[in-house]
């Protein structure tokens, strides 16, 4: 059923695809879905200064973008990298990729993150680390569509870290999503919107060990299905100090700053604070 739905989404023009996705997002809001419940709690945690009316408005708009993210993923996954590139309206900061330093990409769950690695992989070799899904069928489906051409997907485990190191040695681009709960062994508690969140340490460790250039990378979703604006921006991990804890805190702050610029496009439906917060 899910595969049929995503196949349908893949044949819709992007403008129609996003209208369809917006309708799904509005339904998630109207019918009191779990996505709405989790998003509302996360928005309340992260934006306590907003009025209840403004929080509800942000949740509604965020769910509309969640719907668009769902439908556009079917489109992106089922098309070639070269066709994916056609959706890019503008690409800011691409010159940072010409730096002589090896580069790691920090890719938060904001905008159309599925597009980022595929656009780069159209002309460059890119290795992305991912967290496998619980459903083996869904995992196999996504892996088949993500792991192709110049784009290599590696799991977040010891074998994946070895592949990351090998890719670095070959001067390939490396990408990581920094705002997932990494579990008990892969993270430390670090401030995120003034609340402690279990945060991955791997990106900071690899960046420091290999003296890498760290670039924040995101694809802003443009209105009315016009496409996407890609952005690369340097990130300094040592702004708060020299320890691993300081660098992880800096990473979280950079992600937070980006979210504040376009909060409606962030994936608020993810239980980011599950290590310290009970989602009711």
CA distances from 139 to 154, 212, 243 (A): 12, 30, 35
CA distances from 119 to 82, 171, 265 (A): 8, 18, 19
Q: For 255-275, what is each residue's pLDDT tens digit?
A: 999 999 999 999 999 999 999
Q: For 2-19, what is each residue's pLDDT tens digit?
A: 777 788 888 999 999 999
Q: For 87-143, what is each residue's pLDDT tens digit?
A: 999 999 999 999 888 999 999 999 999 999 999 999 999 999 987 766 677 667 777
Q: For 33-77, what is each residue's pLDDT tens digit?
A: 999 999 999 999 999 999 999 999 999 999 999 999 999 999 999
Q: For 187-241, what is each residue's pLDDT tens digit?
A: 999 999 999 999 999 999 999 888 899 999 999 999 999 999 999 999 999 866 7
What are the residue ranges spanned by the domains of the chain?
2-265
């Amino acid at each position: 059923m899910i595969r049929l739905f995503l196949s349908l989404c893949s044949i819709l023009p992007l403008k129609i695809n996003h209208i369809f996705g917006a309708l799904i997002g509005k339904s998630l809001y109207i019918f009191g879905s779990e996505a709405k419940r989790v998003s509302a709690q996360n928005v309340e945690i992260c934006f306590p200064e907003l009025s209840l009316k403004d929080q509800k408005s942000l949740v509604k708009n965020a769910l509309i973008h969640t719907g668009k993210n769902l439908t556009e993923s079917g489109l992106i996954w089922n098309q070639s990298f070269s066709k994916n590139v056609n959706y890019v309206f503008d690409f800011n900061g691409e010159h940072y990729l010409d730096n002589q330093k090896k580069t790691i990409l920090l890719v938060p769950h904001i905008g159309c993150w599925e597009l980022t690695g595929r656009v780069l992989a159209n002309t460059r070799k890119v290795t992305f680390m991912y967290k496998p899904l619980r459903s083996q069928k869904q995992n196999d489906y996504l892996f088949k569509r993500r792991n192709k051409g110049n784009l290599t997907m590696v799991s977040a485990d010891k074998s994946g870290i070895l592949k990351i190191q090998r890719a670095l040695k070959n001067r390939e681009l490396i990408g990581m999503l920094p705002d997932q709960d990494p579990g008990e062994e892969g993270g430390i508690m670090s401030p995120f919107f003034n609340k402690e969140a279990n945060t991955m340490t791997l990106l900071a460790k690899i960046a420091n060990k290999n003296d890498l250039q760290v670039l924040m990378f995101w694809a802003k979703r443009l209105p009315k299905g016009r496409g996407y604006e890609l952005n690369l921006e340097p990130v300094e991990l040592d702004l708060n100090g020299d320890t691993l804890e300081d660098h992880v805190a800096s990473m979280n702050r950079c992600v937070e700053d980006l979210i504040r610029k376009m909060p409606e496009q962030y994936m608020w439906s993810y239980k980011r604070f599950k290590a310290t917060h009970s989602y009711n």
